[in-house]
Structure 1
Amino acid sequence: MTGRVLVLGGTGEGRRLAAALVAADVDVVSSLAGRVADPVLPAGEVRIGGFGGAEGLAAWLAATPVAAIVDATHPFAAAMTASAAGAARLTGTPLLRLQRPGWTAGPGDDWRWVDSVAEAADAVSGFGSVLLTTGRQGLAAFAGLPGRCVVRSVDPPAPPLPERTTVVLARGPFTVEEELALMRRHAVDVVVTKDSGGSMTAAKLFAAQQLGLPVVLVRRPPLPPGLEVVATVEEAVAWVRAQAG
């Protein structure tokens, strides 16, 4: 393909896409937000740090033209996805959203859907021991919880945190056995997570099902209107190839 492809990454899909494009001799630059202190880097060129919204990304694209953009950020990186859509419109750059499907409850699952982390905090206020796996963003919503909380994240979370908090620093993916051990060790009563989707972080859902625990899931934010979306890396590679004409 002629021209560079910008992959907005930070996810497993973003890394697999970058590797596939590099293997196909596509000039790729992956952009990571820089929120993780020691990120797993994708193949190809990498830049770390934000752009400064849609206008900032548009300015970067004007200075560093690309043939196409693939937004492979996390399903809850709504601000980056909105910025990518805005910058694509401003610059006329083709844009694709690569987003893994969300999770679907199965037999035996006790899932309770909410629209925000604030609603999730309300939903678990009566539980004695809460496992929070929502990432570091938005933890302040849970600061007033009266029970015990286990916060798992890759990097240390910033306050405010619930008064009775145990922080577990760990990088997944985790096995079902590891999730079962964590939940039993801390006598977890309820799990809180976001509908990230995919298999890499699904083990906690299987563990909760085995233990008969409820799971409070935060729904995904809506995507910008008119955005072309695919669910697999293979579809994204085909789309990039199509941009070559």
Structure 2
Amino acid sequence: MRLLLLAGTGEARRIAKALAEMPIDTVASLAGATQKPLDLAVQTRHGGFGGGEGFRAFLKTERISAVLDATHPFADRISLRSARICDEMAVPYAQLLRPGWVPEPEDTWRFFDAEEQAASFIAEGAIVFLGTGPQGLAKFANLTGRRVICRRIDPPQNPFPFPGGEYLLGRPPFSVEDEVALFRRLKVDWLVVKNSGGAASRSKLDAARVLGIPVALLNRPPQPDALRVETVEDALAWVRGLLT
């Protein structure tokens, strides 16, 4: 059996570590969004497949027996394409999709469907902390008139895509205490994040609760109609089931 692990999340790293100790020939794939990603415990390829036909060719030439998709909840193009092609080629596919975040009584959250909608409820002059990462940043261009701070892992190769914005470098994980101190120093008025879910990146939401900062959460894009699990343990159970 040869398994393709579509990686890029903390869950994928945990899965790769477990798979390295199992009698499975595993190859992981990273899309290349981060310049210096953390090492995985299995053979890893970097970069895209070259579109749908490239992915199809990879599955065939590498004799992939199954695909476990543990990409980010917002990597919807990868997930939709992978699920569709696996279905067409009769290659078993499963998606690990962690549950989204839900507000607690003391939270002040606003949900929205598209980046451009954030400007409709964030007042001009506000200091906005974007925890959404640099991908898709240009879609927030109508936030001009606010001070926009976008945190990213890698140093930028190009200027900020619209006036009034600046980058802040930082590599997770970040503790709640670190985020509280940062938001206080920056005098943040709004926190904008993708509803990624998971415990690893929740600290910024907890910090916003401590400080009473309103949060705008970008809703998840559509996901594939395919077998789905929510935890690393269930994903590994699916893999083990393929061995029987």
Deviation of 1:125 (Å): 4.5
Verify: 1:243 aligned to 2:237, yes or no.
no
- Which moved further from structure 2: 159-168 or 26-35? 159-168
Superposition CA RMSD, Å: 1.4
- Which moved further from structure 2: 112-121 or 26-35? 112-121
User: d(CA) in 2 for partners of 1:239 and 1:196?
Assistant: 23
Letter in 2 for 1:105: P
After superposition, the Cα gap between the structure-2 partners of 1:195 and 1:142, relative to the gap in structure 1 and judged at 3 Å, is same
Say if 2:13 and 2:40, in contact at 8 Å, map to a contact too. Answer: yes
The runs of 5 or more residues in structure 2 that have no matched partner are: none
- Which moved further from structure 2: 62-71 or 114-123? 114-123
Say if 2:160 and 2:166, in contact at 8 Å, map to a contact too. Answer: no
What is the CA deviation profile of residues 59-96 of structure 1, one whole-angstrom value per residue up to 9, with x for unaligned ones? 11111111210000000001100111122023210000
User: d(CA) in 2 for partners of 1:214 and 1:123?
Assistant: 11
- Secondary structure (helix, strand or coil) at the match of 1:213 reads coil
The runs of 5 or more residues in structure 1 that have no matched partner are: none
User: d(CA) in 2 for partners of 1:156 and 1:128?
Assistant: 25
Q: Name the counterpart of 1:61.
A: 59
Q: Name the counterpart of 1:103.
A: 101
Verify: 1:113 aligned to 2:111, yes or no.
yes
User: d(CA) in 2 for partners of 1:45 and 1:101?
Assistant: 28
Q: Name the counterpart of 2:175.
A: 175
Say if 2:118 and 2:216, in contact at 8 Å, map to a contact too. Answer: yes
Deviation of 1:159 (Å): 4.3
User: d(CA) in 2 for partners of 1:160 and 1:14?
Assistant: 30
- Secondary structure (helix, strand or coil) at the match of 1:188 reads coil
Say if 2:160 and 2:167, in contact at 8 Å, map to a contact too. Answer: no
- Secondary structure (helix, strand or coil) at the match of 1:74 reads coil
What is the CA deviation profile of residues 132-173 of structure 1, one whole-angstrom value per residue up to 9, with x for unaligned ones? 010111111223421211110112344453422232111111
- Secondary structure (helix, strand or coil) at the match of 1:152 reads strand
What is the CA deviation profile of residues 163-199 of structure 1, one whole-angstrom value per residue up to 9, with x for unaligned ones? 2223211111100111011111111000000001001
Say if 1:133 and 1:191, in contact at 8 Å, map to a contact too. Answer: yes
- Secondary structure (helix, strand or coil) at the match of 1:143 reads helix
Say if 1:146 and 1:162, in contact at 8 Å, map to a contact too. Answer: no
Verify: 1:156 aligned to 2:125, yes or no.
no
Letter in 2 for 1:128: A
Say if 2:153 and 2:171, in contact at 8 Å, map to a contact too. Answer: yes
Structure-to-structure mapping, 1:65-76, within 5 angstroms: 65-76=63-74
